[in-house]
Amino acid sequence: MDVITWTGELACHLQAAHRMTREEFAERLGVHPQTVAGWHSKSAIVPRAEIQAALDTVYEKAAVPVRLRFARLSQPTAETAAQALRVAIAVVRRGSDVLLVQRLDDKGLPWQFPTGIVKPGGSPEAVAIRETHNETGVHCAVQQPLGERLHPNSGAYCHYFLAEHLAGEATNRDTAENAAVQWVPIASLTRFIPADRIYRPVLDALGVSAA
């Protein structure tokens, strides 16, 4: 069985693959049509566990042509990925804490994981390690990749890595880009970044509930 972490975007792709209206898709899932409408307006939202299960069931029962259409819709094309800005994102743990940076931008002071731009031919894993140190002073080692996606809001092609703290205190070493750097209790992560803005495999790797 394919393991899919459902987001609003993927749910919409499954609807399109079935060639159903929002009302028809809602009826198939046993949810209100407003729920499906919400996925179209908030593509990064992560459905509740019971809806995840319903989406799994609809996908598993789908005919082969439907699955093929879903696969084509869900995967960024090589051309799209090549044109998109590529970034590496480090999810760095230290015991029960995770490392965050607070960005300076025109939308306020949002918190996020350390991120670096991957230049053509560059290694995303190496960028995740290097940029974490450059931004925060923290040395880390990648434990495992957590997946890749075309970000539904920024349009950047993101490579996610789970990493472990090796050495170094968290300090703001890039004051031109960041307002603060902080170790945050994993249990409090969604107070800093809303759960629906976090890539689901990141939540799963950290053991954080999406509810």
Task: Say whether pTM exceeds 0.85.
Answer: no
Q: What pLDDT, in 10s, does the model give residues 34-59? A: 999 889 888 788 888 899 999 999 99
Confidence check: pLDDT of 82 > 70? no
Q: What is the pLDDT of residue 211?
A: 61
Q: Which of 75, 97, 121 is the last residue of a domain?
A: 75
Asked if 90 and 12 sit in the same domain, the reply is: no
Asked if 52 and 131 sit in the same domain, the reply is: no
Asked if 69 and 91 sit in the same domain, the reply is: no
Asked if 133 and 154 sit in the same domain, the reply is: yes
What CATH number is associated with residue 174? 3.90.79.10
Q: What is the pLDDT of residue 174?
A: 87
Average pLDDT, the chain: 87
Percent of the chain's residues with pLDDT above 70: 91
Confidence check: pLDDT of 95 > 60? yes
Residues 6 or more apart whose Cβ sits within 8 Å of residue 155: 84, 85
Asked if 127 and 65 sit in the same domain, the reply is: no
Identify which of 207, 208, 183 has the alpha carbon closest to the alpha carbon of residue 196. Answer: 208
Residue 177 placed within a domain? yes
Instruction: Choose the weakest-confidence range: 57-61, 70-74, 94-98.
Output: 70-74
Residue 211 placed within a domain? no
Asked if 90 and 193 sit in the same domain, the reply is: yes
Give the Cα separation of 38 and 22 in Å (integer).
10
Q: What is the pLDDT of residue 77?
A: 58
Residue 24 placed within a domain? yes
Instruction: Return the exposure string of 95-121: e unless at least 16 CB atoms fall within 10 Å of the residue's CB, then b.
Output: eebbbbbbbeeeeeeebebbbbebeee
Residue 3 placed within a domain? no
Residue 58 placed within a domain? yes
| Cα-Cα-Cα-Cα dihedral sign, residues 110, 192, 6, 18 | negative
Backbone angles phi, psi at 15, to 5 degrees: -60, -50
Domain span including residue 173: 83-206
Asked if 33 and 125 sit in the same domain, the reply is: no
Asked if 52 and 105 sit in the same domain, the reply is: no
The one-character DSSP state at 178 is: E
Give the Cα separation of 81 and 148 in Å (integer).
10
Q: What pLDDT, in 10s, does the model give residues 116-173? A: 988 877 899 999 999 999 999 999 999 999 998 887 777 788 999 999 999 999 999 9
How many structural domains are present in the chain? 2
Confidence check: pLDDT of 9 > 90? no
Q: Which of 48, 75, 102 is the last residue of a domain?
A: 75
Asked if 59 and 132 sit in the same domain, the reply is: no
Q: What is the pLDDT of residue 1?
A: 42
Cβ count within 10 A of residue 174: 15
Asked if 182 and 94 sit in the same domain, the reply is: yes
Written as six digits, the tokens of 201 are: 């495999």
The one-character DSSP state at 173 is: -
Q: Which of 75, 97, 115 is the last residue of a domain?
A: 75
Asked if 124 and 182 sit in the same domain, the reply is: yes
The more confident residue out of 83 and 20 is 20
Backbone angles phi, psi at 2, to 5 degrees: -70, 140
Percent of the chain's residues with pLDDT above 90: 52
Residue 1 placed within a domain? no
Asked if 51 and 139 sit in the same domain, the reply is: no
Q: What is the DSSP string of 57-111?
A: HHHHTS-HHHHHHHHHHHSPPHHHHHHSPEEEEEEEEETTEEEEEEE-BTTB--E
Residue 107 placed within a domain? yes
Residue 43 placed within a domain? yes
Q: What is the pLDDT of residue 72?
A: 75
